[in-house]
Homo-oligomer: A and B are copies of this chain.
Amino acid sequence: MTRPKAVVLLSGGLDSATVLAIAKAEGYEPYALSFRYGQRHVFELERAREVARSLGAGAHVVVDIDLRRFGGSALTADIDVPKDRSMDEMSHGIPITYVPARNTIFLSFALAWAETLGSSDIFVGVNALDYSGYPDCRPEYIAAFERMANLATRAGVEGTQHLKIHAPLITMTKAQIIRKGLELGVDYAITSSCYDPGTQGEPCGKCDSCQLRAKGFAEAGSADPLVHRFGSV
C-alpha cells in the first residue's frame, strides 16, 4: 500500500529529527525540507542530510533563501548569540535569536511543496514550552496558518483535500521529546542543536539551545550521544 506523503520541516536539530520519526511512525512517507537561510549554524544542514537518510525520507530538498537581506536576528546577523543565560532569563520575552517570520516563510515553502506533491500533511517541530518566547511556535499561530493555507491553495478551494499542519511536539517537554525519539530509534548523535557550533559542529554548550538540550537529556535520564561524540562540552 502506498503511504500518504507528508512534508516535514527538518533543521537537523533534535526536535525536527524526532518529528520526522513521528511522521514515519504515523504511516506517512516523509519528504524532508530544509533551508539555507544565512544561519550561523549552517553545519546543521549536513546533519539534516544524515537524519533524512537515516530515517528513510522519500526525498530531501534544501531551499536557498537569504533572510540576511532583512537582518534583525542573532541567528543571521552580526549580533552575538547569548550564552550562559539562566532558565529564568530564557523563559521571559522574545529572544534575540528569534528570526522575523521564519516559521511563516518555512511553512509557506512547505505548503508549495505539499501542493505539488499532492500531499495534505505538513509536519513541523515547533514547541511552545521550551521556546515560549517565539511567537510563531504557539498553537494559535499554527491554527491560523492552517486556516490561511486552506484558503490559499487550489486543493483547498476545490475541496479535494484539507491541509493539516501537524505540530506533534507543541506541548511536550524536551525530556518527553527525547524519550519519544529514543523509542522511535532516532540517532541523536547525528543531530545538531547548537546556535553557535565550532568548525567541526561541536556544540558550544552555553547557548540557550545547548542548555535546553542538556537539561532535556538529564530529565529524560539518558546520556546525550552528541556529548559522547565530541566529549564533554
Contact = CB atoms under 8 A, between A and B. Distances in A.
Contacts of A108: 101, 104-105, 108
Interface residues of A, number: 43
Nearest to A153: B135
A148 B165 CA distance: 14
Given A70-B113, A112-B67, A135-B157, A101 B152 contact: yes
A116 B100 CA distance: 7
Contact of A152 (B72, B112, B141, B157): B141
Interface string A81-97: 00000000000001000
A109 interface: yes
A5 to B, nearest CB: 13
Contact of A115 (B72, B111, B116, B151): B72
B98 A154 contact: yes
Contacts of A72: 112, 115-116
Nearest to A151: B141
A154 B61 contact: no
A152 B61 CA distance: 25
Query: Which of A72, A147, A154 has most chain B Cβ within 10 Å?
Result: A154
Contacts of A109: 70, 101, 105
B140 A151 contact: yes
